[in-house]
Amino acid sequence: MDRFIIHGGKKLQGTVHISGSKNAALPILVATLLTDEPCVLHRVPNLRDVRTTLKILEYLGKKVEYKNNTVTITADGVLKNTLPYELVKQMRASFWVAGPLLARFKTAEIPLPGGCAIGVRPVDIHLKGFEKLGAECDIKSGNVMIHAPELTPAKIVLRFPSVGATQNLLMCACLIPGETILENVAKEPEVDDVILFLNKMGADIRVGDKGQLIVQGKTALHGAEHTVVADRIETGSYILAACATRGDVTVTGCVPEHNSILLEDLQEAGFTLDITEDSVRVHSYGGDIKPVRVRTAPYPGFATDLQAPWMTLMTLCNGTAEVDEDIFENRFMHAPELVRMGANISTEKSVARVTGVKELSAAHVQASDLRGGMALVIAGLCAAGETEVERVYHIDRGYEKLEEKLTALGADIRRYNPDKNEF
């Protein structure tokens, strides 16, 4: 398995352009199952999860062409309504096909999904929503069996504003004639991008006065062309990498307002930022990094996907910072690896206390999940000496051309395959 070899201690400098959002691209790709007409999607990042999703679409009966970050999806025979575990186990987002398949076939069989080991992330919110729409859901031998003699519009109140459940139920409701109302929904920018694409396909989705999503279902949707929104988590990660290395970096092609809480917290920590409509410049900073407490929350709160990279930054603060993880359990697995690099971190349940140290030291570490892996990369960029990060396949799920982009900013990072003994 590939690993990163990082020689740290260099300030990042220059400009980095942000890719399309993974968390928007995946459900948008899945939404093409709602029509047999061609769909063209631009700014689709070349990531492991994207490639897995394209394989899923091909297995289900779509023809896929992917070149230069543009995906063209057309019909290629009769669609299937089941998926094999070999595909589903690779990522949790594979369960999102349930909504479109249920809407089109009134039945779907999907194995329970896999993905990062950062908590249970149950699909029960999805299933309870499908039941409200008239479906029966059973779990047998690890497979979710969903069947509906007839689907009917309904009012659905999510027990938690789950991004995946919001998107899955939206896609299903688009093909159920009548008015479906979703309440307590996720408000992430990625959800907005999915809604934008669905409306381009002919759906009728609007946001109500109280933030609820109101869907006027149709009998059919058509093809559409769409450009995926910028990845706010990649944006935040590069901004944090610039801050942690005390660099001077301009992040372009982003939507700064999608990271407004992060930017406010960084300014509170002492960093100077220049913010425009589509860029953020981090100025080189030689002063003390002030400790700032963050608590993860659904958007527009502090993003759980930036909690791990933020923790790396706080390992270098002057004082003690607290990180409250209120979204996923078991999402501090990067903390022991940071401790191996000299960090002073203690965790208790959902709270991590980070007491800053003067510097991190290079070490051999391993990624346990996507964002925790990025936290270790940032730590390696800060630490003098050679850091080796194993299991980079986790990181490949969410960061397009990571080593290429970091190298362009002056980092010394290379991908190494120990089996082939080659870089």
Tokens for 182? Answer: 């979703």
Q: Which residues does residue 71 pair with via DSSP β-bridges, in sequence order?
A: 41, 66
User: Residue 133 has what DSSP assignment?
Assistant: T
Catalytic residues: 116
Q: How far is CA 92 from CA 29, 153, 259, in A?
A: 15, 26, 24
* Cα separation, 59 vs 83, whole angstroms: 8
* Cα separation, 6 vs 423, whole angstroms: 12
Radius of gyration of the chain (CA): 22
φ, ψ of residue 405 in degrees (nearest 5):
-70, -40
Q: HEC profile for 21-63?
A: CHHHHHHHHHHHHHCCCCEEEECCCCCHHHHHHHHHHHHHCEE
CB burial string 395-417: b at 16+ within 10 A, e below: bbbbbbebbebbeebebebeeee
The three-state secondary structure class of 115 is: coil
Crossing angle of helices 22-31 and 48-60, rounded to 10°: 0
